[in-house]
Structure 1
């Protein structure tokens, strides 16, 4: 059955402490964690509807995703491996951390270099919108960056669950549009890769 389903690999990148794990766990399980133990393993599944199509999102090993996510900041080889396999990226920075904003711009540049493309499915996410009084990155600055690079921008709060679902689902929509443009499905082809419908999206 799995061979009949389309799979999307979503990769969440960003500097340490920006809330990558908090956003993902809030999206999958609908609760906020301020501290996450990367030694804990579990299996997460979320059923949602994207563009009117039922979509199943699976994360089979959050601890592996969390550790890999940390490696994205530290290990060049591991970082490029995940960038090569990813079909869409959430670029996460913290609105109260200028360094994380500069770091996520470097991730954007590296993703395009690894993919050898001028554009690719990405959503820039300014997390910690609940800390408005501590904000150091203006919405205007972030929007200027995303306009220049033709990617989508959203502000979110993993703590308040603000724009959490919207960020992930926006990325799925962008990936679908991108893949349809890149390789439109043949009119009469029964390949599992082209079948539309339920699709498990793997969060790496």
Structure 2
């Protein structure tokens, strides 16, 4: 069974933990402790294939935990959560991108990222313009969905599609690695056979 590690990041009040629990437990948990970092394991079935997920619900504080650094360096994807009703939570997503690039010394655009605009059910209180989310999404090459942890709208679909994208990206990397190794082996065989002659 394929296994992937995903970090869920978001400012306190963005609905980060509520989205994580909505996906895992199919219920809305309004009262959660945003200062506690939790790690969950689950199995999902996508395209008739079981996939193991380890999900880190990051505490959202200023300091980077050892676990989050490990997820940045060895994880397979990042979910950035912001509230559509809170511009600060949206702008904070940029900070996570910078932290990822500093810790890993890699371009975030090359890493699977899912951007989730939460609280879609509060459209009348929206203060994050659609244009800003689209610009940010394009710049970091992220998948983007607007969701509601309260109603569950789009939560499962967004995360399942993201897991599928992660699987496809890493399957392609494995294929490329396999092809490179085979090319090296065949080149070595040709050189070795010439030397024997």
* Both proteins in one fold, TM over 0.5: yes
More helix per residue: 2
Residue number in structure 2 paired with 1:133: 124
TM-score normalised per structure 2: 0.76
User: Among residues 147, 169, 174, which one is paired with 1:156 in the alignment?
Assistant: 147
CA RMSD of aligned residues (A): 2.7
Give the 5 Å matches for 1:96-135.
Answer: 96-118=85-107, 119-135=110-126
The equivalent of 1:25 in structure 2 is: 21
Which residues of structure 2 form unaligned runs of 5+?
A: 180-197
Structure 1: distance between partners of 2:168 and 2:102: 21
Partner of 1:10: 6
Q: Does 1:180 align with 2:176?
A: no
Shift, 1:47, TM fit: 4.5
Structure 1 SS opposite 2:151:
coil
In structure 1, stretches of 5+ residues that fail to align are 60-64, 188-204
Match of residue 73, structure 1, among 61, 76, 81: 61
- Give 3-state SS (helix, strand or coil) of 1:36's partner: coil
Q: 1:18 to 1:43 in 2, by over 3 A?
A: closer
The whole-number CA distance in structure 1 between the counterparts of 2:158 and 2:134 is 15
Distance 1:16 1:43 in 2: 17
Over 3 Å counting, the alpha-carbon distance change for 1:109 and 1:181 in structure 2 is farther
More divergent stretch after superposition (19-28 vs 115-124): 115-124
What SS does the aligned partner of 1:16 have?
Answer: coil
Greater relative contact order, per chain length (Cα 8 Å cut-off, separation 6+): 1
Task: State the match for 1:202 in structure 2.
Answer: none
The separation in 2 between residues aligned to 1:88 and 1:103, in whole angstroms, is 18
Structure 1 residues 123-172: Cα deviation after superposition (integer angstroms, max 9, x where no partner): 10001111111111122220111112211111110001011112221221
How many residue pairs get matched?
Answer: 174
- The TM-score with structure 1 as length reference comes to 0.74
Asked if structure 1 preserves the Cα contact closer than 8 Å seen for 2:3 and 2:51, the reply is no
For residues 102 and 158 of structure 2, the distance between their equivalents in structure 1, rounded to whole angstroms, comes to 24
Distance 1:15 1:38, change over 3 A: closer
